[in-house]
Amino acid sequence: MDRYPELDRVNSLEDFKRLRDGELPAYAAQMRQYMIENVARCGGHLASSLGAVELIIAMHRAYNSPTDKIVFDVGHQSYAHKIITGRREAFCTLRQENGISGFPKREESEHDPFNTGHASTAISAALGMARAKRLLGEDGAAIALVGDGALTGGLAFEGLNDAGQADVPLIVIINDNEMSISPNVGALHRMLVNMRSSAWYVRFKRYLVRALDTGIIGRWLSRHMENMKNRIKSFLMPQRLFEDLGFLYLGPIDGHDIPELTRMFRRAKDLRVPVIVHCVTQKGKGYSYSERNPEKFHGVAPFSIDTGDIESALKRSNSSVFGSEMITLAEKDPKIVAISAAMPTGTGLSEFASRFPDRFFDVGIAEEHALTMAAGMASCGIKPVVALYSTFLQRGYDQVLHDICLQKLPVVLAIDRAGLVGDDGETHQGVYDVSFLSSMPNMTIYSPATQQELVHMLSLALSRGEPAAIRYPRGSLIQAVSTQPVEKGVWEELESISEKTIIATGSMVAVALPVARKLKTGLVNARTIAPMDEAMLQRIAKTAKKVIVMEECVDALGLRVSAALSPVPVIRMNVPSDPVSQACVNHQRQFCGLTADALEKYLMEGTE
């Protein structure tokens, strides 16, 4: 296509290496436009990748993948990397079924050495690669590209602490755009801001540049004083965290200056010691709407390029319903607080944060800290609600068990994106929370089938003063209204229990209801997964000759129902143990056999 003369010439990393330096600015501009057009059509993580274009171009000029291992933290910013490393033509399939992943993926390319999707893992993984190379006698460096938001995660600090004394060629590139998904918070973020905005440093640098940028000798000195400049910078900076950890610090560097980035990246590799390269970028760069609102365009549905308008959902999202109810409850009870781990918008808490700034706590990408802090608050009489995506709650397993459940502290977990999540694929599926939460003592697990139930369960959980989790899917639950109040450990009989009875929970109730009515079978809405409704199970055991349990998670409720109803035959319909790849949720449900057709087939088996 004539619109992309430089971009169309690059079908592999080898093609990219043949580009002349003077062609790179045009290549970067064309790549941005190509990203915008494709993400506008299919959705994706736009703002992060737009901000990292020059940075990734420079990385591939300076390093030799796959000999040099380039590890992305999270991977939201990896689109330029995918295009450069031979996936330009496949980019139109981004995050689609049977298409390329929105994250780095080992199965997809030799240039993706490590699968990512969750934050703060890159430094530890790259350090492991650097040590492995040394043990195997192999050449090459290991490079971790880390957003400053990911540095708020504890695992990143653990990796930095170990790497600084490792004496291996590890390069940590910090992509400092002042954002993770929402604006960054915390002491480390403030340190990075101070490092690039110190008044002493800025004044001294301005004076030094002016003094040296005159005459042949001055310009020669300017080009050969990098080491001195960094030492002066280190002396003037109020913080020396990275140096104290054992890293050589280089920066801050303009993250959109390809020649300077390339030069600094090569220098970092030549040093063959642990190095931090601090790059300052603009999230969303090159598209005015994402520049002005990078949080909105972090993970975005299809949108209009001309207006920036995102395709709006016709129904109100579960996250929005949760956020509104939090405000209603907080207005009545001053002890209710909300906690987020860098995702107030995604979890529906932005308005709560605006209305109750003293009762909202965004701790950064630090789920473990969020949960233990909530436990501490609960021990003093506060009523904390911790809103997390199911896939990120996994990082806080020990905190939920040790700090909340064993102490029976009244912390409510609002588990968003529970179940199958669609285009983000394997790393983000919210299908494991029930399995580990249901084994924990003192934990109540609520599973709303409707948005009305979500509202009532939140109020009930806060009123009971005990550990509780409410899991609800991405998108919108049905709007149906029930006359039976929500109670802990009490299920709802939607269709009379019969010889064939379905027990469905959460989003599966809407799938099962039309089938149950069509075939005139029993249907029970399992509103609480733990505890189960023992009285209802006894009634089912006396009447049913076949029971089917439907749940949009790995086998959890089905196993417990099977044990409770034995010897009544129980068919368990759930998410299989094999990872579920990216696709729309309906296709993922077909892969898992969680459809009305599959349910009807099970019910009809054995009948004439």
The reported pLDDT for the residue numbered 332 is 97
User: Which pLDDT score is estimated for 210?
Assistant: 63
* Residue 484 placed within a domain: no
Q: Where are the alpha helices (DSSP H) in 522-567?
A: 534-543, 557-565
> How crowded is the C-beta side of 210, counted as CA atoms within 13 Å?
6
224 found inside a domain: no
List helix spans (H) across 258-366. 258-271, 288-292, 318-332, 350-355
The number of helix segments (H) and strand segments (E) in the chain equals 26, 17
Same domain, 411 and 455: yes
Both 340 and 280 in one domain: the answer is no
**Residue 388 shares a structural domain with residue 511:** no
Report how far Cα 6 is from the mean position of its chain's Cα atoms. Answer: 33
Specify the DSSP class assigned to residue 71.
Answer: E
Domain that holds residue 188: 7-198+237-292
Q: Can you give the pLDDT at residue 236?
A: 44
Q: Which residues in the chain show pLDDT less than 50?
A: 1, 179-185, 188-190, 192-199, 201-202, 227, 230-239, 608
Look over the chain and give the mean of its residue pLDDT values, rounded to a whole number: 89
411 and 509 belong to one structural domain: no
Q: From residue 378, how far is each of 387, 396, 465 by CA, in Å?
A: 15, 17, 9
Does some domain include residue 221?
no
Task: Note whether residue 108 is domain-resident.
Answer: yes
Residue 479 falls inside a structural domain: no
User: What pLDDT was estimated at residue 218?
Assistant: 62
Domain boundary among 441, 471, 501: 471
Q: Which structure tokens are listed for 571?
A: 């068919």
Name the domain boundary from 275, 292, 309: 292
Q: Domain check: are 253 and 402 in the same one?
A: no
Residue 39 shares a structural domain with residue 78: yes
- Residues 354 and 460 reside in one and the same domain: yes
List, by residue number, the catalytic residues: 283, 367, 395
CATH number of the domain where residue 439 is located = 3.40.50.970
My answer on whether 35 and 116 are in the same domain is yes
Q: What's the structural domain count of the chain? A: 3
Do 287 and 375 lie in a common domain?
Answer: no
pLDDT computed for residue 234 by the predictor: 46
Q: Give pLDDT, residue 196.
A: 42
For residues 463 and 569, membership in a common domain is answered with no
pLDDT on residue 205: 55
What is the model's pTM? 0.85
Please tell me whether residue 55 adopts helix, strand or coil conformation.
helix
Do the domain assignments include residue 482? no
* Domain contains 211: no
Q: Does residue 232 lie within any of the structural domains?
A: no
Say if residue 584 is in the same domain as residue 467.
Answer: no
569 plus 518 within the same structural domain: yes
Print burial letters for 2-36: b (CB count within 10 Å at least 16), e (below 16): eebebbeebeebeebeebeeeebeebbebbbebbb
